[in-house]
Amino acid sequence: MRTIDFSPLYRSVVGFDRLAQLLETATADTASGYPPYNIERTDENAYRIELAVAGFKPEELNIEVKQNLLTVQGRKAANDEQRRFLHRGLAERDFERRFQLADYVVVTEAQISDGLLSINLKRELPDALKPRRIDIAVGPASASLIEGEKAA
């Protein structure tokens, strides 16, 4: 028994339903290891996801980002009627991989080469959230001011 029922969490938490959903999807994604993938950090704010999609054409792949969820789907065109296999060992099955993206992470590029689908990601913080340096102004010293009358 490798499944956990998170439905009691949905009844008892208010505002944390996204957290319960993340737990549920995290346990479901570990069941399928196809296709294998790498996640690489290429820069301080840049990442790359590489999926092994050998045998898939670019038109058979679909990449979609919706509400911080990156979904990569592969749908193999059905042309098995024309082919006669003596042995079929290549896994040309449909797949769907989902990746939860952090806030302000956007997909910048996707390309396929040598059976690897590379998806480049970049974290783009808005200017309002970036740290700012505040300059300290130097003004006249307040010690030189004397209250009262001018000395003779």
**131 located within any domain:** no
**145 located within any domain:** no
> What does the pLDDT read at residue 143?
55
The tokens describing 125, both together, are 């913080």
Residues 26 and 40 grouped into a single domain: no
Average pLDDT, the chain: 81
**140 located within any domain:** no
CA dihedral 109, 50, 66, 77 (to 10 degrees): 100
Going across the sheet that includes 116-123, the strands are: 37-43, 46-52, 116-123, 105-113
Residues 10 and 50 grouped into a single domain: no
Residues 49 and 16 grouped into a single domain: no
Mean of the pLDDT values across residues 95-118? 93
> What does the pLDDT read at residue 132?
84
Q: Which of 17, 85, 104 is nearest to 8 (CA)?
A: 17
Model pTM score: 0.66
The tokens describing 20, both together, are 């319960």
Total number of domains in the chain = 2
Residues 9 and 79 grouped into a single domain: no
Give the C-alpha separation, 97 to 61, whole Å. 11
Residues 93 and 21 grouped into a single domain: no
Residues 46 and 82 grouped into a single domain: yes
The tokens describing 141, both together, are 């010293």
pLDDT tens per residue, range 76-95: 877 667 778 788 777 778 99
Residues 26 and 87 grouped into a single domain: no
> What does the pLDDT read at residue 11?
61
Whether pLDDT at 133 is above 70: yes
pLDDT tens per residue, range 8-58: 666 655 565 566 666 666 666 555 688 999 999 999 999 999 999 988 999
Q: Which helix (H) or strand (E) holds 124?
A: none
Please give the backbone phi and psi of residue 140, each rounded to the nearest 5 degrees, phi first: -65, 145
Instruction: Determine the structural domain holding residue 65 and report its residue range.
Output: 33-125
Residue 47 pairs in a beta bridge with: 41, 121
Give the C-alpha separation, 131 to 123, whole Å. 15
Residues 13 and 66 grouped into a single domain: no
> What does the pLDDT read at residue 21?
66
Please give the backbone phi and psi of residue 69, each rounded to the nearest 5 degrees, phi first: -120, 115
Q: What percent of the chain has pLDDT over 90?
A: 37
Residues 115 and 74 grouped into a single domain: yes
Number of H helices, E strands in the chain: 2, 7
> What does the pLDDT read at residue 141?
59
- Comparing 1 with 118, the larger pLDDT belongs to 118
